[in-house]
């Protein structure tokens, strides 16, 4: 196991990451100018002390200024890389824009009703053209079919990009914050006629050709691999393209603990690197072969990244293993922890916001877990049977990776796959065969009979993998879900795990008591959350664009009123509704269709009515505390205010914006409180 000797790059990366995190969570603590000034001062003092000789007492202060310089380098780096801080950014130059020019920066991604594409603005027109910069997520309606735009193409787009909004519902994923880590602050929905191609990419660089190669590879996989889901899994495993995988199959992979194979990551790059080392093993007998192996490995790894379109997740994984490949020829003069730290440092120097990427966090934790924990776990049991030993090795790798990423899995995915050890016994080997087979298929695709044969074999392996995953999902208690923990609780779990590791490393009781102290605090916080939210009574009118959604929760039970189409839309419910249920520990849900019944009910002594049918004749002397209006259905022009008593009107998100504004004027004129969910987010009352 690891002995706590000095690890230079580990310490450098730790201070650098600390500065980055402070800048991300406290960006206004110090402005960019002051941060750069502090950085320059600490660097200056460090070099003054470094050239001073003859006094060892100065080493302490030299260390302080040195580590401080790295810390402030991380802080200043984030501020400089935050594009919204730049004067020419779209945020400050988009007030009166009527059209703008932009350059395509990603391949089109298929959504249910639109194509999603990332563009970078270069100029905005108000009364005249102004140069700007800033990324926009463009959603182009599928009414015109496929769009034929490629990386680097210049577009003219009509309209004004809209700033991304805060989450509209309680507990909902903060898409605005997530995209801000990619320096994206705007989005726009457009019709095909609102976008015109100005010019194709004249300067076709590496990324352009990489996208072309990925498009070619995708067509070849679809040509020789038959079956929609087989093609989708092949594209995911080989190219990292997951658009075509249906929701049910994704859920099966998540429930069986095999979700990690559906995105090209450290696992896939590690498999390719391991196979390369195995194939090049005969060269090890030559003393000059170490650097040759490293060179071939780098060429193959970056070639694979090129074929996958140089996506960020693949680049991250390839960069990490590139450091491992380069460090390997040095033998004992380096160690894996410094190598991983160096790769993380370089990646964060390129893009400091990678630290907030779930993939980045999981990749490095999984690799660290395997490097540090796999061997000690493996040594707990020895067997001379090769098959049993192979199974035990895979089990140890799965245990090590799962232990290291366990807390993050609970935080981000709110679930734990019970049979991950069983599933990985066949998922890892089968995904390896599929990955290698897919790469081999692309390599021989010009020989149709051979490519057809390989495609048949790969299709069979994919079918076998899917069948195994679905079988594992259907096992009793295959998934523990609806787990809610906070970021602080996640850190407590990670701290407890580290203390248990240190307990076995140093055999000191201090680590035993520390581990249980962290676990006790974690349990206390979980109990307090349960007490605070589980017994909380809540009435919510959700903001789900174009739909009506009303929920009453009490003691883990829910009455959910919604329109027919929303009740069938699992993806929208998962994104907009489920997070709030998760927070409140809802485990029993009764679904009610608003089409069949416009409910009138009492909630905590308050009367609530739902207007869902414009033909409905409201009774004379109607008196309600809350009137929830859906689908433009409350005909206020025919309602005599003297005959009804409404304290507050809540406008659901299924109403049109123009109707909301008209009804708001009517309500204000009659001194009735009004709340528009469409404009202000979900309406929530708790008791």
Residue 498 counted as domain residue: yes
> Residue by residue, what is the 3-state secondary structure of 468-533?
HHHHHHCCCCCEECCCCCCHHHHHHHHHHHHHHHHHHHHCCHHHHHHHHHHHHHHHHHHHHHHHHH
Residue 283 counted as domain residue: yes
Give the three-state DSSP class for 658. Answer: helix
Predicted local distance difference test score (pLDDT) of residue 47: 87
Predicted local distance difference test score (pLDDT) of residue 48: 85
Pairing of strands 538-541, 549-554: antiparallel
Res. 548: pLDDT tops 50: yes
CA distance 540 to 556: 15
Taking only Cα atoms into account, the Rg of the chain, rounded to an integer number of angstroms, comes to: 29
Whose structure tokens read 């395997």?
370
CA dihedral (606, 609, 610, 616) in degrees, to 10, reads: 180
Q: How confident is the model at residue 167 (pLDDT cuts 50, 70, 90)?
A: very high
Considering only residues 602 and 79, tell me which one the structure prediction assigns the higher pLDDT: 79
- Examine the fold and report which residue of 51, 81, 111 is the final residue of a domain before the chain moves on: 81
Residue 505 counted as domain residue: yes
Least confident of 404-408, 640-644, 651-655: 640-644
Residues of the chain with pLDDT > 90, as a percent, come to 29
**Closest listed residue to residue 579, CA positions, set 175, 259, 186, 260:** 175
Considering only residues 502 and 59, tell me which one the structure prediction assigns the higher pLDDT: 502
Tokens of 92: 């400050």
CA dihedral (586, 578, 488, 493) in degrees, to 10, reads: 70
Q: How confident is the model at residue 264 (pLDDT cuts 50, 70, 90)?
A: low
Res. 669: pLDDT tops 90: no
Q: How confident is the model at residue 1 (pLDDT cuts 50, 70, 90)?
A: very low
Q: Are 522 and 493 in contact (CB under 8 A)?
A: yes
pLDDT digit string, tens, across residues 563-580: 889 998 888 999 999 999
Structural domain that includes position 98: 90-204
Q: Is the dihedral of CA 275, 277, 279, 281 positive or negative?
A: negative
**Closest listed residue to residue 253, CA positions, set 578, 479, 568:** 479
Question: Within this chain, do residues 344 and 214 fall inside the same structural domain, yes or no?
Answer: yes
Tokens of 222: 């679809």
Q: How confident is the model at residue 643 (pLDDT cuts 50, 70, 90)?
A: low
Question: Within this chain, do residues 73 and 120 fall inside the same structural domain, yes or no?
Answer: no
CA distance 350 to 363: 17
Pairing of strands 557-562, 549-554: antiparallel
Question: Within this chain, do residues 444 and 396 fall inside the same structural domain, yes or no?
Answer: yes
Question: Within this chain, do residues 275 and 394 fall inside the same structural domain, yes or no?
Answer: yes
pTM over 0.75: yes
Give the three-state DSSP class for 221. Answer: helix
What CATH number should be reported for the domain holding residue 121? 2.40.50
Tokens of 1: 């196991």
Whose structure tokens read 């603005």?
121
Residue 288 counted as domain residue: yes
Predicted local distance difference test score (pLDDT) of residue 460: 93
Question: Within this chain, do residues 491 and 468 fall inside the same structural domain, yes or no?
Answer: no
Res. 639: pLDDT tops 80: no
CA distance 657 to 660: 5
Q: How many domains does the chain have?
A: 5
Question: Within this chain, do residues 597 and 507 fall inside the same structural domain, yes or no?
Answer: no
- Examine the fold and report which residue of 204, 219, 235 is the final residue of a domain before the chain moves on: 204
Residue 3 counted as domain residue: no
Residue 506 counted as domain residue: yes
Question: Within this chain, do residues 228 and 337 fall inside the same structural domain, yes or no?
Answer: yes
Question: Within this chain, do residues 229 and 322 fall inside the same structural domain, yes or no?
Answer: yes
pLDDT digit string, tens, across residues 442-469: 989 888 899 999 999 999 999 999 999 9
Question: Within this chain, do residues 105 and 166 fall inside the same structural domain, yes or no?
Answer: yes
Predicted local distance difference test score (pLDDT) of residue 130: 86
Question: Within this chain, do residues 467 and 575 fall inside the same structural domain, yes or no?
Answer: no
Using N-to-C axis directions, what is the helix angle for 358-378 and 386-413, rounded to 10°?
A: 150
Q: How far is C-alpha 343 from the geometric centre of its chain's CA atoms?
A: 21
Q: Are 551 and 169 in contact (CB under 8 A)?
A: no
pLDDT digit string, tens, across residues 300-334: 989 888 888 877 778 888 888 888 888 888 765 56
Residue 656 counted as domain residue: yes
- Examine the fold and report which residue of 186, 204, 222 is the final residue of a domain before the chain moves on: 204
Q: How confident is the model at residue 54 (pLDDT cuts 50, 70, 90)?
A: low
Res. 397: pLDDT tops 50: yes
pLDDT digit string, tens, across residues 518-547: 999 999 999 998 888 887 889 999 999 889
Res. 2: pLDDT tops 50: no
Looking at residue 98, the DSSP 8-state letter turns out to be: S
CA distance 21 to 513: 29
Question: Within this chain, do residues 35 and 98 fall inside the same structural domain, yes or no?
Answer: no
Q: Report how far apart the first and last C-alpha atoms of the chain are (Å, whole number).
A: 53
CA dihedral (617, 618, 621, 622) in degrees, to 10, reads: 170
Predicted local distance difference test score (pLDDT) of residue 4: 44
> 342-350 long-range CB contacts below 8 Å, 24 or more apart?
342/9, 342/13, 343/319, 344/13, 344/17, 344/320, 345/9, 345/12, 345/13, 345/16, 346/319, 347/316, 347/319, 347/320, 348/13, 348/16, 348/17, 348/20, 348/74, 349/77
Buried b / exposed e across 175-201, counting CB within 10 Å, b at 16+?
beeebbbbbbbbbbebeeebbeeeeeb
Question: Within this chain, do residues 139 and 195 fall inside the same structural domain, yes or no?
Answer: yes
pLDDT digit string, tens, across residues 369-385: 888 888 888 888 888 88
Predicted local distance difference test score (pLDDT) of residue 676: 92
Q: Are 260 and 420 in contact (CB under 8 A)?
A: no
Predicted local distance difference test score (pLDDT) of residue 650: 92
pLDDT digit string, tens, across residues 73-101: 999 999 999 998 888 888 877 777 789 99
Angle at 566 between CA 563 and CA 567, to 5 degrees: 85
Res. 288: pLDDT tops 60: yes
Q: Are 317 and 273 in contact (CB under 8 A)?
A: no
Residue 2 counted as domain residue: no
């Amino acid at each position: 196991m690891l002995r706590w000797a000095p690890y230079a790059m580990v310490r450098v990366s730790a201070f650098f990451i600390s500065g980055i995190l402070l800048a991300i969570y406290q960006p206004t603590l110090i402005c960019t100018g002051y941060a750069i000034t502090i950085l320059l001062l600490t660097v200056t003092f460090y070099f003054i002390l470094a050239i001073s000789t003859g006094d060892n007492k100065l080493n302490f202060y030299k260390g302080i200024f040195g580590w401080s310089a790295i810390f402030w380098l991380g802080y200043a780096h984030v501020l400089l890389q935050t594009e919204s801080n730049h004067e020419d950014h779209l945020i400050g130059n988009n007030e009166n824009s009527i059209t703008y020019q932009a350059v395509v920066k990603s391949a089109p991604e298929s959504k249910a009703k639109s194509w999603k594409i990332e563009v970078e603005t270069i100029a905005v027109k108000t009364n005249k053209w102004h140069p700007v910069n800033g990324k926009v997520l463009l959603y182009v309606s599928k009414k015109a079919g496929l769009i034929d735009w490629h990386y680097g193409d210049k577009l003219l787009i009509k309209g004004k990009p809209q700033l991304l909004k805060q989450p509209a519902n309680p507990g909902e994923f903060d898409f605005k914050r997530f995209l801000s880590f990619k320096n994206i602050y705007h989005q726009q929905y457009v019709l095909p006629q609102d976008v015109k191609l100005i010019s194709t990419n004249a300067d076709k660089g590496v990324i352009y050709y990489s996208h072309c190669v990925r498009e070619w590879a995708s067509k070849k996989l679809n040509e020789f691999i038959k079956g929609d889901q087989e093609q989708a899994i092949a594209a995911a495993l080989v190219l990292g393209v997951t658009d075509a995988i249906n929701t049910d199959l994704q859920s099966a992979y998540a429930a069986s603990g095999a979700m990690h194979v559906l995105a090209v990551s450290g696992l896939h790059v590690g498999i390719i690197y391991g196979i390369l080392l195995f194939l090049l093993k005969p060269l090890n007998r030559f003393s000059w072969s170490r650097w040759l192996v490293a060179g071939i490995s780098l060429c193959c790894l970056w070639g694979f990244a090129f074929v996958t379109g140089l996506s960020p997740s693949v680049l991250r994984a390839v960069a990490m293993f590139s450091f491992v490949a380069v460090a390997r020829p040095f033998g004992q003069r380096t160690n894996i922890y410094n190598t991983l730290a160096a790769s993380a440092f370089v990646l964060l120097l390129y893009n400091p916001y990678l630290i907030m990427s779930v993939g980045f966090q999981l990749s490095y934790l999984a690799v660290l877990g395997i490097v540090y924990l796999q061997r000690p776990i493996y040594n707990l049991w020895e067997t001379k049977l090769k098959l049993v030993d192979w199974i035990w090795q895979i089990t140890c790798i799965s245990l090590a990776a799962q232990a290291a990423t366990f807390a993050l899995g609970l935080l981000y995915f709110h679930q734990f796959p019970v049979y991950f050890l069983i599933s990985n016994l066949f998922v890892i080997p089968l995904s390896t065969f599929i990955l290698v087979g897919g790469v081999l298929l692309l390599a021989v695709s010009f020989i149709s009979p051979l490519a057809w044969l390989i495609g048949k074999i790969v299709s069979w392996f994919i079918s076998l993998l899917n069948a195994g995953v679905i079988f594992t999902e259907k096992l009793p208690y295959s998934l523990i879900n609806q787990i809610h923990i906070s970021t602080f609780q996640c850190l407590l779990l990670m701290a407890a795990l580290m203390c248990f590791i240190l307990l076995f490393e140093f055999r000191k009781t201090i680590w035993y008591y520390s581990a249980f102290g962290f676990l006790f605090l974690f349990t206390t916080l979980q109990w307090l959350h349960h007490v605070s939210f589980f017994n909380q009574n809540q009435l919510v009118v959700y903001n789900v664009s174009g739909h009506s959604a009303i929920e009453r929760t009490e003691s883990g039970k829910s009455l959910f009123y919604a329109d027919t189409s929303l009740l069938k839309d699992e993806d929208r419910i998962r994104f907009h509704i489920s997070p709030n249920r998760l927070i409140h520990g809802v485990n029993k849900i009764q679904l009610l269709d608003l089409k069949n019944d416009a409910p009138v009910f009492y909630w905590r002594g308050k009367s609530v009515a739902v207007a869902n049918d414009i033909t409905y004749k409201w009774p004379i002397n109607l008196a309600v505390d809350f009137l929830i209006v859906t689908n433009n259905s409350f005909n206020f022009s025919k309602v005599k205010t003297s005959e009804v008593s409404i304290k507050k009107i809540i406008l659901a998100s299924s109403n049109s914006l123009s109707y909301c504004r008209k009804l708001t004027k009517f309500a204000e004129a009659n001194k009735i409180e009004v709340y528009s969910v469409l404009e202000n987010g979900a309406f929530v009352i708790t008791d």
